[in-house]
Amino acid sequence: MQEEDLDYLKRWMVQVEGHIRELHDLAQRSGRLAIFTISSTVKVPQKRWPYLTPIRSIVHGHIGGVVVFSQSQAILACSVVDGLADVVLVDAEKKIGIQYGRSAELLVHFGITLPANTQITKSYVEMGNLSAACARFLQYSKFQEFKANDITVDAVWLQLTSWFKVLSGRKFAIIGVGNIGFKLALKLVESGSTVEIVRRDLARGMLMADVLNLVKPSSTLATVHYNQDPLQACLYADAIIGCTSGQPVIRWEMIQGLKESGLLIDVGKGCFYADAVQKAIAEGIPIYRCDITSSIDGLVAAMERNRAYLSNEMGRRVLAEEEICLISGGHMGLVGDLIVDNFRHPTRFFGVSDGSGDMKRQWTDEDQRRVDLLKRLMAEQSVPGG
Residues whose CB falls within 8 Å of the CB of residue 71, separated by 6 or more in sequence, listed in order = 96, 99, 103, 126, 127, 128, 129, 130, 132, 133
Percent of the chain with pLDDT over 70: 93
Within 8 A by CB and 6+ apart from 24, the residues are 34, 84, 85
CB 81 within 8 A of CB 143: no
End-to-end CA distance of the chain: 56
pLDDT band for position 308 (cuts 50, 70, 90)? confident
Say what the pLDDT of residue 383 is: 82
Backbone angles phi, psi at 26, to 5 degrees: -60, -40
Which pLDDT band holds residue 1 (cuts at 50, 70, 90)? very low
Distance in angstroms (rounded) separating the CA atoms of residues 259 and 163: 14
Confidence of residue 118 (pLDDT cuts 50, 70, 90): low
- How crowded is residue 308: how many other Cβ atoms within 10 Å of its Cβ? 10
For position 246, what pLDDT does the model report? 81
Give the pLDDT score at 365: 96
Mean pLDDT, the chain, integer: 90
Torsion, Cα of 89, 95, 101, 102 (10° steps): -20
pLDDT at 107: 76
* CA 331 – CA 122 distance, rounded (Å): 47
pLDDT in tens, 139-187: 999 999 999 999 999 999 999 999 999 999 999 999 999 999 999 999 9
pLDDT level of residue 112 (50, 70, 90 thresholds):
confident
Average pLDDT over residues 211-231: 96
The residue ranking higher by pLDDT, 249 or 45, is 249
Angle at CA of residue 301, ends 298 and 305, nearest 5°: 140
- Report the pLDDT value the prediction gives residue 100, as an integer from 0 to 100: 60
Closest of 137, 212, 135, 201 to residue 172, by C-alpha = 212
Measured in whole angstroms, how far is the alpha carbon of residue 70 from the centre of its chain?
A: 20
> Which has the closest alpha carbon to 374: 328, 310, 309, 330?
328
B/e letters for 254-269, b = 16+ CB within 10 Å, e = fewer, are: bbebbeeebbbbbbbe
For 280-293, write each residue's pLDDT tens digit.
Answer: 999 999 999 998 88
Render pLDDT for 359-375 as a digit per residue (tens, 0 to 9). 999 999 999 999 999 99
User: Which residue ranges form the domains of the chain, and what is each CATH number?
Assistant: 3-146 (no CATH), 149-294 (3.40.50.720), 314-379 (no CATH)
Instruction: Give the pLDDT band (50/70/90) at residue 22.
Output: very high
Helices (H), 138-242: 148-164, 179-190, 202-215, 230-234
| pLDDT confidence of residue 117 | 54
Residues 352/371, Cβ–Cβ less than 8 Å: yes
- What single letter denotes the amino acid at residue 46? Q
Q: What is the pLDDT of residue 128?
A: 74
Residue 342 to residue 350: CA distance in whole angstroms: 11
Which amino acid type is present at position 59?
A: V
- 167 touches 191 (CB < 8 A): yes
Provide the 3-class DSSP secondary structure of residue 37.
strand
pLDDT at 102 over 60: no
Per-residue pLDDT averaged across 81-107, rounded? 82
Q: How far is CA 307 from CA 245, 326, 331, in A?
A: 34, 21, 15
The upper half-sphere exposure of residue 340, i.e. CA atoms within 13 Å in the direction of its Cβ, equals 25
Q: What is the mean pLDDT of residues 11-28?
A: 96
